């Protein structure tokens, strides 16, 4: 069995196992809950949901965790407690997000997409089995030619078999019946029934070209008057070593930047939209009033973007680790070479990109109150991201960045995409990379200050959209 299938089966088995285990645990909890409820029932309040001693199996009856029970949420809260209010707020974000169905399904979809991106090329590779190529031989053929054609066939994934035909007529018959792919006649000519490029032809066009080329070369040796030994020497010649003066530049494959840029775009838009929606929901549900009665606006904002940022980083790390492990397990060369550097750079830029954009989206969310305002707000914000994304994709596949692209690699809104591509293409020195990172950090700080100012004004302003001019005009007291 192919390793691909083994991996797929194992993945499937593990996920089914996890689901079963969770179901089992939930059932166990429910049962324990109803037993506890049955014991409590006689002493219960008259209006408790028990009828004639029978305990109603309402979900509410399921085991409430006691005040001392260590639930996952409380463990997270303990971690958050060490970092003050911002920590508490961030850990709430993390636990609520990670528990949500959207997050889980989304993660699985991303993992499946990444797995397919790695597995499909592998399947493609293994499905292209060696195609049998029966090569008719009319007259004699030198062993050197047979050797060369067979070797060329191996290179082209063809399984070459030589069939000696007694006459040209028989060879022609076999060609017509497609028993032969092509025939070598008299050691000087390649004969086909129809052009090899036609899909109906059984002949591999590359192999035909190779055979013709070798025939020509051998004939040239003969005309040049080389002895068979000399000709053999030439045939067995080895390539001279190739030396590069700078390692890491010029990659044969641009798969990592392309996959990476797509993932980065998907994740950045997803998580930034989460901050936007999260802030908007806190405002529209008015829970922000309760929260801001005890914490400062900047703490609430910082906790929120930090929490979502942690979830984003966690998910990205999971996806990357999964991709690397899967590629390693399959022996895929998609992520081979000196790409770990590019992968690390991608992760760093995901963090920097999120840090820059999240403030902007959060500030935008604080000016909205309804779901339908989200589209109008998110679209203009996503334009710089889209420019960086599309431009980076074209450059990543062409492999040749122009000057404008290099400029974009230093601007915080587009740097996450453009600089990652430059790194993956080996066209950025360490100090260029560092300069771009520093500019991005500076831009993030400026953006955070600006966003906090808008947020503070807008989030408590209810009743209709808030105008930007209004927000920037007055200076606040808080």
Q: Which residues bind another protein (CB under 8 A)?
A: 45, 47-49, 58-62, 64-68, 73-74, 77-78, 80-81, 85, 88-89, 92, 96, 281-282, 285-296, 460, 462, 476-478
Nearer to another protein, 17 or 84 (CB): 84
CB of 248 to another protein, least distance (A): 48
Nearer to another protein, 82 or 243 (CB): 82
Nearer to another protein, 140 or 285 (CB): 285
CB of 64 to another protein, least distance (A): 5
Nearer to another protein, 288 or 451 (CB): 288
CB of 455 to another protein, least distance (A): 14
SS (H, E, C) the chain: CCHHHHHHHHHHHHHHHHHHHHHHHHHHHHHHHHHHHHHHHHHCCCCCCEECCEECCCHHHCCCCCCCCCCHHHHHHHHHHCCHHHHHHHHHHHHHHHHCHHHHHHHHHHHHHHHHHHHHHHHHHHHCCCEEEEEEEECCCCHHHHHHHHHHHHHCCEEEEEEEECCHHHHHHHHHCCCCCEEEECCCEEECCCCCCCCCCCCCHHHHHHHHHHHHHHHHHHHHCCCHHHHHHHHCCCCCCCCCCCCCCCCCCCHHHHHHHHHHHHHHHHHHHHHHHHHHHHHHCCHHHHHHCCCCHHHHHHHHHHHHHHHHHHHHHHHHHHHHHHHHHHCCCCCCCCCHHHHHHHHHHHHHHHHHHHHHHHHHHHCCCCCCHHHHHHHHHHHHHHHHHHHHHHHHHHCCCCHHHHHHCCCCCCHHHHHHHHHHCCCCCHHHHHHHHHHHHHHHHHHHHHHHHHHHHHCCCCCCCCCHHHHHHCCCCC
Under 8 Å between Cβ of 105 and 258: no
Q: What angle do CA 9, 339, 436 make, to 5 degrees?
A: 130
Nearer to another protein, 183 or 288 (CB): 288
CB of 376 to another protein, least distance (A): 23
- Between CA 144 and CA 232 the distance in angstroms is 7
CB of 435 to another protein, least distance (A): 39
Nearer to another protein, 96 or 156 (CB): 96
Nearer to another protein, 88 or 436 (CB): 88
CB of 290 to another protein, least distance (A): 4
Cα–Cα distances in Å, from 344 out to 219, 424, 454? 54, 10, 34
CB of 381 to another protein, least distance (A): 25
CB of 81 to another protein, least distance (A): 6
CB of 89 to another protein, least distance (A): 8
Nearer to another protein, 123 or 460 (CB): 460
Nearer to another protein, 360 or 457 (CB): 457
CB of 451 to another protein, least distance (A): 19
Nearer to another protein, 38 or 123 (CB): 38
């Amino acid at each position: 069995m192919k390793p691909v299938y083994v991996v797929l089966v194992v993945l499937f088995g593990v996920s089914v196992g996890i689901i079963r285990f969770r179901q089992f645990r939930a059932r166990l909890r429910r049962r324990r809950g109803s037993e506890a409820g049955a014991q409590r029932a006689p002493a219960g309040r008259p209006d408790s949901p028990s009828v004639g001693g029978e305990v109603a199996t309402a979900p509410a009856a399921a085991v409430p965790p006691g005040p001392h029970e260590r639930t996952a949420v409380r463990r997270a809260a303990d971690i958050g407690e060490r970092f003050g209010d911002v920590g508490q707020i961030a850990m709430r974000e993390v636990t609520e997000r990670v528990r949500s169905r959207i997050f889980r399904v989304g993660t699985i979809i991303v993992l499946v997409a990444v797995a397919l991106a790695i597995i499909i090329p592998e399947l493609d590779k293994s499905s292209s089995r060696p195609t049998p190529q029966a090569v008719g031989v009319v007259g004699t053929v030198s062993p050197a030619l047979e050797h060369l054609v067979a070797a060329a066939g191996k290179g082209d994934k063809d399984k070459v078999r030589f069939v000696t035909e007694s006459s040209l007529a028989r060879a022609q018959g076999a060609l017509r019946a497609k028993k032969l792919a092509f025939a070598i006649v008299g050691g000087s000519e390649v004969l086909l029934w129809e052009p090899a490029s036609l899909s109906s032809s059984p002949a591999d066009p590359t192999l035909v070209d190779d055979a013709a080329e070798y025939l020509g070369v051998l004939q040239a040796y003969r005309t040049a008057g080389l002895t068979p030994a000399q000709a053999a020497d030439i045939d067995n010649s080895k390539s001279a070593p190739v030396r590069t003066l700078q390692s890491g530049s010029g990659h044969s494959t641009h798969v990592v930047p392309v996959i990476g840029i797509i993932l980065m775009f998907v994740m950045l838009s997803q998580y930034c939209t989460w901050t936007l929606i999260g802030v908007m929901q806190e405002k529209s549900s008015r829970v922000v009033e309760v929260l801001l009665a005890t914490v400062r606006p900047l703490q609430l904002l910082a906790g929120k973007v930090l929490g979502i940022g942690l979830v984003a980083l966690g998910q990205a790390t999971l996806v990357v680790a999964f991709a690397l492990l899967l590629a390693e397990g399959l022996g895929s060369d998609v992520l081979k070479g000196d790409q770990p550097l590019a992968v690390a750079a991608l992760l760093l830029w995901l963090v920097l990109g999120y840090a820059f954009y999240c403030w902007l989206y959060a500030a935008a969310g604080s000016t909205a109150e309804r779901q339908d305002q989200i589209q109008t707000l998110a679209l203009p914000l996503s334009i710089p991201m889209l420019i960086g994304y599309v431009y980076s994709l074209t450059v990543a596949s062409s492999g040749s960045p122009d000057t404008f692209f290099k400029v974009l690699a230093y601007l915080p809104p587009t740097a996450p995409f453009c600089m990652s591509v430059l790194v993956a293409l080996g066209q950025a020195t360490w100090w260029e990379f560092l300069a771009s990172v520093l500019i991005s950090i500076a831009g993030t700080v400026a953006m955070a200050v600006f966003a906090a100012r808008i947020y503070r004004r807008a989030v408590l302003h209810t009743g209709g959209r808030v105008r930007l001019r209004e927000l920037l005009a007055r200076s606040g007291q808080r």
